[in-house]
A and B are shown apart, each in its own frame.
Chain A
């Protein structure tokens, strides 16, 4: 009974996690909302940087987006984030952005 209860609050089969722990997911969500949000807006609808909403990204290539996150984009204000996250974590962020980014709460 207790074990079943514990299992029920664990992520379902860790399928969508792609190797990113839930605690780390929460950190990444906060990072994106707050720190990416400095330029892209906390609601990700854009600021000095472009919008990162599903409808604005639907024509983008996920791998290219991951590379942009990790290495930045020259001639623009987009800095590289590779110091702060792994490739897997960047890919997880892209996946979330493309399907609608979770809230920080």
Chain B
């Protein structure tokens, strides 16, 4: 009897050792499986799927930010679900429904606040990153009390959140010094801001405008100067082509001292100098760009496209500003994510249920694996980057 008891305890100890070996999270990530409400936990060193976690609701559009210790992922689902996933236990730590229709989120500079940007009801909600308790509700009200859909939410230095109001055409800066009483500054941006980015140094916020030929730039060090229009009239004299999917902006667009931004309604990348904010070039590409993402060293920019050109990925050499390769990873390429230092990039192909890993030096496929309608791919090194 006593021996049995000891054996049972020993077995327990052994099994717990097997279940949770000590490890870091710096080479972990999540892949969204959009049609089944599931995420895969992946290891980018071993290039393997460690676990699948179900029960995250409607992930038909989803985005992820990470806690600053890189252990937890906050997954923002389309249905307003906010799910905190423990990458080490490979399980859901906590899940709340915080809105009716949501588009993404951000985590504050100090890592203590998680903010969700919502379409319905239009606004931003701020939660305690540890407990997911609601700290502040910021309705995006404009005009005579209507609520605007919110896009382009980012964290900014000084524990601020910055976001854009699609319907109101405004940029708001929320100071979270007192997390329950955010102080809001409002700026006129232009017609239909569809997404936003903050430069990697945390200084400039840029909102892309769907309704105008240009982008809105706010210098967060000098907000008193207001919003400045950049790349104004970039489409003049050219016929505007239909846009079958809105581009996504993030700080990844910046490579060295230049930003590579998707034109709206033109099959081009606009190259802008981030010191002067003047246009310095244009690169014709295969379709309406959706993501233009710089390799971490800035030497390449990888681009994917809206329907119907979404089976291709193009690689731009930033020295020559030429496309060096057009890849065909699969049908409906939705996202690309570089490993922390950029030697590999993982690419999701929704309609081929596949993730392909490329060597960014040789531009050859290293391996591929199955995933169910994969969309977003998010690696933990985002935890330490401003604007991710």
A-to-B contact residues, CB < 8 Å: 30, 34-35, 37-39, 41-43, 45-48, 72, 75, 77, 79-80, 84, 104
Q: What is the CB-to-nearest-CB distance from A43 to chain B, in angstroms, rounded to a whole number?
A: 6
Within 8 A of A (CB), among B233-252: 242-246
Asked if residues A38 and B245 are in contact (CB atoms below 8 Å), the reply is: yes
Q: What is the CB-to-nearest-CB distance from B382 to chain A, in angstroms, rounded to a whole number?
A: 23
Q: A79–B151 Cα gap in the complex (Å)? A: 20
Asked if residues B244 and A48 are in contact (CB atoms below 8 Å), the reply is: no
Asked if residues B244 and A47 are in contact (CB atoms below 8 Å), the reply is: no
Neighbouring A residues of B151 by C-beta, 8 Å: 48
Asked if residues A43 and B58 are in contact (CB atoms below 8 Å), the reply is: yes
- Among A37, A72, A80, A104, the most chain B Cβ lie within 10 Å of the Cβ of A37
Q: A104–B60 Cα gap in the complex (Å)? A: 13
Asked if residues B101 and A77 are in contact (CB atoms below 8 Å), the reply is: no
Neighbouring B residues of A79 by C-beta, 8 Å: 242-244
Q: A72–B149 Cα gap in the complex (Å)? A: 21
Asked if residues A42 and B308 are in contact (CB atoms below 8 Å), the reply is: no
Q: A80–B307 Cα gap in the complex (Å)? A: 12
Known: A41-B61, A41-B101. A46 touches B119 (CB 8 A): yes
Neighbouring B residues of A37 by C-beta, 8 Å: 60
Sample of 17 further A-B pairs with CB below 8 A, known A39-B245, A48-B151, A77-B246: A34-B332, A34-B350, A35-B245, A35-B307, A38-B244, A42-B35, A42-B60, A42-B78, A43-B58, A46-B119, A47-B61, A47-B78, A47-B119, A48-B149, A48-B194, A48-B246, A79-B243
Indicate with 1 or 0, residue by residue over B142-173, a CB within 8 angstroms of chain A CB atoms. Answer: 00000001010000000000000010000000
Q: A75–B192 Cα gap in the complex (Å)? A: 10
Query: Which residue on chain B has the smallest CB distance to residue A46?
Result: B101
Q: A55–B275 Cα gap in the complex (Å)? A: 50
- Pick the contact of A46: B120, B211, B245 (CB < 8 A): B120
Q: Does B295 lie at the interface of the complex (its beta carbon under 8 Å from any beta carbon of A)?
A: no
Query: Which residue on chain A has the smallest CB distance to residue B307?
Result: A35
Asked if residues B60 and A77 are in contact (CB atoms below 8 Å), the reply is: no
Q: Does B41 lie at the interface of the complex (its beta carbon under 8 Å from any beta carbon of A)?
A: no
Query: Which residue on chain A has the smallest CB distance to residue B103?
Result: A47
Query: What is the predominant secondary structure among interface residues of chain B facing chain A?
Result: loop
Neighbouring A residues of B332 by C-beta, 8 Å: 34
Known: A77-B192, A84-B308. A35 touches B244 (CB 8 A): yes
- Pick the contact of A48: B58, B60, B119 (CB < 8 A): B119
Q: A63–B35 Cα gap in the complex (Å)? A: 31
Known: A34-B332, A34-B350. A41 touches B245 (CB 8 A): no
Asked if residues A39 and B246 are in contact (CB atoms below 8 Å), the reply is: yes
Query: Which residue on chain B has the smallest CB distance to residue A79?
Result: B242
Q: Does B354 lie at the interface of the complex (its beta carbon under 8 Å from any beta carbon of A)?
A: no
Q: A17–B194 Cα gap in the complex (Å)? A: 37
Neighbouring B residues of A84 by C-beta, 8 Å: 308
Query: Which residue on chain A has the smallest CB distance to residue B59?
Result: A42
Neighbouring B residues of A104 by C-beta, 8 Å: 35
Q: A88–B192 Cα gap in the complex (Å)? A: 32
Q: Does B68 lie at the interface of the complex (its beta carbon under 8 Å from any beta carbon of A)?
A: no
Can you list 28 contacts pairing A with B, beta carbon distance less than 8 Å? Answer: A34-B351, A35-B245, A35-B307, A38-B244, A38-B245, A38-B246, A38-B306, A38-B307, A41-B78, A41-B101, A42-B34, A42-B35, A42-B58, A42-B60, A43-B58, A45-B101, A46-B120, A47-B61, A47-B103, A48-B119, A48-B151, A48-B166, A48-B194, A77-B192, A77-B210, A77-B246, A79-B242, A79-B243
Asked if residues B119 and A77 are in contact (CB atoms below 8 Å), the reply is: no
- Among B34, B61, B194, B211, the most chain A Cβ lie within 10 Å of the Cβ of B61
Q: A66–B307 Cα gap in the complex (Å)? A: 20
Q: A75–B243 Cα gap in the complex (Å)? A: 13
Q: A37–B243 Cα gap in the complex (Å)? A: 13
Q: What is the CB-to-nearest-CB distance from B306 to chain A, in angstroms, rounded to a whole number?
A: 8
Q: What is the CB-to-nearest-CB distance from B276 to chain A, in angstroms, rounded to a whole number?
A: 30
Neighbouring A residues of B58 by C-beta, 8 Å: 42-43
Neighbouring A residues of B119 by C-beta, 8 Å: 46-48
Asked if residues B350 and A47 are in contact (CB atoms below 8 Å), the reply is: no
The 5 closest A-B pairs by CB, nearest first: A42-B60, A79-B242, A38-B245, A35-B307, A79-B244
Q: What is the CB-to-nearest-CB distance from B289 to chain A, in angstroms, rounded to a whole number?
A: 14
Q: What is the CB-to-nearest-CB distance from A76 to chain B, in angstroms, rounded to a whole number?
A: 9
Q: A77–B264 Cα gap in the complex (Å)? A: 11
Q: A72–B244 Cα gap in the complex (Å)? A: 11
Neighbouring A residues of B149 by C-beta, 8 Å: 48
Q: What is the CB-to-nearest-CB distance from B215 to chain A, in angstroms, rounded to a whole number?
A: 16
